[in-house]
Amino acid sequence: MDYTISTHGNASVLALKGSLLADVQTKDILQQVTDMIQEGKVRFVVDLSDLKFINSSGLGMLLTCLTKARKAGGDVILANVPEQVQNLLIITKLSNIFQAKESLNDAIEMYK
C-alpha cells in the first residue's frame, strides 16, 4: 500500500493506492495524520480512486482519522469512492458517518 499527502488550499489530501489491509500499514498514516492535527491541519480529503481493497483495519484507520479530526474541529471527506468500498461503507453503516464526494475537486470545495 502506498500513499501520498499533499495540500490543496486549506485541505490536506491523503491519496491511498493499493490495498489497505493491515495494522502495520495504517500505523504510519495515523501517525502522520495525528502530527498534522497537532500542527493545526484538521481538514482532510481521502482520495480513494486508486484503492483496490480495504478491510476492517483500513476502515478502522479511516474512522480514527475522522474522530481525531472532528475532535480538533475539522473533518474527513472521502472522494472517488470505488463501488466495492461504497458497498462496504453501506454494509457497516459508515456511509452515514462519512461524507463522500464524487470527485477530489468536489471534496476540496467543501472546505472553501
Residue-wise pLDDT tens digits, 44-80: 999 999 998 898 889 999 999 999 999 999 999 999 9
Nearest to 54 by CA among 17, 13, 102: 17
DSSP 3-state of 55 = coil
C-alpha cell read off for 54: 480495504
Measured between alpha carbons, how far is 43 from 21 in angstroms, rounded to an integer?
Answer: 24
Q: What is the arithmetic mean of pLDDT over 96-107?
A: 96
- Mean pLDDT value across residues 24-46: 94
Q: Structurally, what CATH architecture does the domain formed by 2-109 represent? A: 2-Layer Sandwich (3.30)
pTM exceeds 0.85: yes
Q: What is residue 88's predicted lDDT score, i.e. its pLDDT?
A: 92
**Stretch 94-108: mean pLDDT, rounded?**
96
- Residue 22 pLDDT grade (very low, low, confident, very high; cuts 50, 70, 90): confident
Position 8 scores a pLDDT of 94
